[in-house]
Structure 1
Amino acid sequence: MKGHIFRRGCTCKRKKKCICGAKWAFVVDIGKDPLTGKRKQKTKSGFPSHEEAEAAATTLIYELSQGTYVEETDQTFNDFSKEWLTIYSESKEVKPGTIRVRLHEIGKLLPYFAQLKLKDITRKMYQDALNDLKDQGYSDSTRDGINQTGRMIFRKALELEVIKKDPTEFAYVKKDKKTIEQLEEEEVPKYLEKEELALFLETAKNYGLELDYLVFLILSYTGIRVGELVALKWKDIDFLNHTISITKTYYNPNNNTKNYQLVTPKTKKSRLKIVVDEMVISALQEHKEVQKKLMEQVGDVYYNKDFIFAKMERQHGYPIVIKTVQNRMARLLALAQELTPHSLRHTHTSLLAEAGVSLEQIMDRLGHTDDQITKNVYLHVTEEMKKEASQKFAELMRSLR
């Protein structure tokens, strides 16, 4: 492997001692150009001494001999992040919503690194960026997401041999330590007690607008997500075996009725077949008859794509948008606006826990592999049950005196 060390730009020709202050450099053969067959060389200068230039050249030669040499590019973070996003979206089954999140997270890193070369971004620079985001008030979860996206970008750059070192390797998201009081008061998501749920469903049945009762009945009795509900089609209902299959979810960030997408569920575990009560099946059958009459009435105007929760007035047949479900619940719960349609998913969890269903079975029914919020609801309900059992035992013992 050929190479040599020299003073770059030295003007002290044929003099024993350099007095012009030229720095040391090296040039090393690094192989052949695959297109021309000509030899390729790597030159690096700026070394203050012959020894340092020699050491750097030796390191390069060693990397070449071991097959670990990486010729870093001058690609900027901004340019490579665009390239990465394309690779990311094409290499796996990624939903449009996830792409939007990744774009948002890249946008938070751009002010720090946009025009910097990837190879020039150091571990300290990356860690300082994460720390600055905390100082700006971004939440732990938001910074976790930004860091996750940053890691994926730099790891792909490392894999493609665009850089030698990953600046995110030892990075961490700085978080404030929770006090004992905060740990003891771990937030439990809002949900309805069974009496409140019964009253809510009764209100939806008597005072709800079109589809309200069926929407909230299914959300309550299955615990599925609103996007999964809106995407349901009649082929997903097994009237004989009383099951509902979850195979897709609805995506429409702009709430444009006609401009929607059906995408895969949130996770693989979210693909479910849920057994439901006879009451749910009966309500679905009744709605199917109503929908059938509407289709006969409007004829070809009906957008017939088999949707269960299809619009009954304007734009007949198109699936209702998620915003509609949120607005309808706000209307029915005017006195409890902190609740959302997702609260019914937590309500379903709490009622299953109260019925004695194990946490593992609940998470399986909801399509979770590991979800802290579900665990918090479950633990809250079971703790209350333990307290009640303790009180009943104490009352029993007192009655024996």
Structure 2
Amino acid sequence: MAAVRLPLPRAIPNTPTRKKEKHIVTKEQMGKILERFPFGHSCYLPLLLAYRCGLRLGETFAITWEDINFEDKTLNINKQVQYNDKHWYFTDTKYKSDRVIDIDDFILNILKKYKTQQLKDKIYYGEHYTKLRVNDKKQINEIEGSEIHLVNIRENGTYIQPRVMQHCFRIIHYKLGYEKLDYHSLRHTHTTMLLSAGANIKAVQERLGHKKLDITLDVYTHVTDEMRKKTLEILNKNIN
């Protein structure tokens, strides 16, 4: 390694950095999005879970009713779904970021409504209601394995796949005109709202399942001006 020369600090890489620009979803935009995908639509709950809970896409579509504690108002994030060999299957969370997060009253009430509706649907469809299962390969299917009770399902019990969000965002891009937004924008917006409101940075990191605090701190770039104003207010009020 004695002959290896390190690049100069001012050196420009041949391949540009592929770091994706982060975008915030405004309240007005979110209102329009939920107006287009209202309660009962297959995209409604996944949109809300990212926006109000900060979940990743794979985590959202892996939630079962057993993961939700209605009494303690908590959600246990312990797996995600991925696609391989023509199957959706359960796998560990990204960076093995299992966690239990608090859920607000609004989301809690929405989940209660969904659970009540699913119980009604199950009675209505009777023997024709689809029972989802997971086999020893952790694949989600309708034939073999232990029965599972996923939250994101259609009225007949079939699984709502994460790919539904591709169609959702095509509409958001080309019908609503919000071309720069994607599913991760909702998670990023959730983080930004918490930090802007003064939430503890370590608590936010744990809530999002970030591996390192630096990842969470990176979000500060979007709230710098607001943070500066709050810092100045603290200085004016508390330091003589």
TM-score by length of 1: 0.46
Mapped to 2, the partners of 1:354 and 1:176 lie a distance apart of 34
> SS in structure 1 opposite 2:72?
coil
Shift, 1:373, TM fit: 5.1
CA, structure 1 residues 306+202, in 2 after alignment: closer, same or farther (shift >3 Å)? same
Question: What residue number does 1:167 align with?
Answer: none
Residues 79, 93 of structure 2: 8 Å contact kept: yes
Q: How many residue pairs are counted as aligned between the two chains?
A: 211
Could you tell me which of 95, 102, 112 is aligned with 1:275? Answer: 102
> SS in structure 2 opposite 1:252?
strand
Shift, 1:209, TM fit: 6.4
In structure 1, list runs of 5 or more residues that go unmatched: 1-122, 124-169, 393-401
Shift, 1:301, TM fit: 3.2
Residues 95, 211 of structure 2: 8 Å contact kept: no
Residues 172, 179 of structure 2: 8 Å contact kept: no
Shift, 1:317, TM fit: 2.5
Shift, 1:369, TM fit: 2.4
Mapped to 2, the partners of 1:249 and 1:324 lie a distance apart of 16
Residues 188, 380 of structure 1: 8 Å contact kept: no
* 1:80-136 deviation line (CA, Å, top 9, x unaligned): xxxxxxxxxxxxxxxxxxxxxxxxxxxxxxxxxxxxxxxxxxx9xxxxxxxxxxxxx
Shift, 1:364, TM fit: 1.2
Question: What residue number does 2:52 align with?
Answer: 221
Residues 359, 378 of structure 1: 8 Å contact kept: no
* 1:376-395 deviation line (CA, Å, top 9, x unaligned): 322321x1204556999xxx
Question: What residue number does 2:11 align with?
Answer: 177
> SS in structure 1 opposite 2:101?
strand
Could you tell me which of 185, 189, 195 is aligned with 1:347? Answer: 189
Counterparts of 1:83-232 in structure 2 under 5 Å? 177=11, 188-205=21-38, 210-232=41-63
Q: Write the letter of the residue equivalent to 1:225.
A: R
Question: What residue number does 1:261 align with?
Answer: 89
* 1:222-277 deviation line (CA, Å, top 9, x unaligned): 101111110100001111111111111111146x5xx2211111123x21111011
Q: Write the letter of the residue equivalent to 2:218.
A: N
1:327 pairs with 2:167: yes
CA, structure 1 residues 346+370, in 2 after alignment: closer, same or farther (shift >3 Å)? same
Question: What residue number does 1:375 align with?
Answer: 217
Higher relative contact order (CA 8 A, sep 6+): 2
1:337 pairs with 2:179: yes
Residues 76, 99 of structure 2: 8 Å contact kept: yes
Residue range with higher mean Cα deviation, 290-299 or 240-249 = 290-299
Question: What residue number does 2:154 align with?
Answer: 311
Could you tell me which of 353, 356, 359 is aligned with 2:198? Answer: 356
> SS in structure 1 opposite 2:37?
helix
Residues 80, 92 of structure 2: 8 Å contact kept: yes
- In our comparison, the structure showing a higher alpha carbon Rg is 1
Shift, 1:361, TM fit: 2.0
1:245 pairs with 2:110: no
> SS in structure 1 opposite 2:149?
coil
Mapped to 2, the partners of 1:294 and 1:253 lie a distance apart of 30
Question: What residue number does 1:299 align with?
Answer: 126
Shift, 1:171, TM fit: 11
CA, structure 1 residues 390+372, in 2 after alignment: closer, same or farther (shift >3 Å)? closer
Question: What residue number does 1:288 align with?
Answer: 115
CA, structure 1 residues 227+174, in 2 after alignment: closer, same or farther (shift >3 Å)? farther
Q: Write the letter of the residue equivalent to 2:191.
A: T
In structure 2, list runs of 5 or more residues that go unmatched: 132-147, 234-240
> SS in structure 1 opposite 2:151?
coil
CA, structure 1 residues 171+391, in 2 after alignment: closer, same or farther (shift >3 Å)? closer
Question: What residue number does 1:385 align with?
Answer: 226
Q: Write the letter of the residue equivalent to 1:214.
A: L
* 1:167-195 deviation line (CA, Å, top 9, x unaligned): xxx8999998359xx9xxx9751221344
Residues 42, 160 of structure 2: 8 Å contact kept: no
Residues 232, 307 of structure 1: 8 Å contact kept: yes
Residues 78, 93 of structure 2: 8 Å contact kept: yes
CA, structure 1 residues 372+177, in 2 after alignment: closer, same or farther (shift >3 Å)? farther
More helix by proportion, 1 or 2?
Answer: 1
Identity %: 26
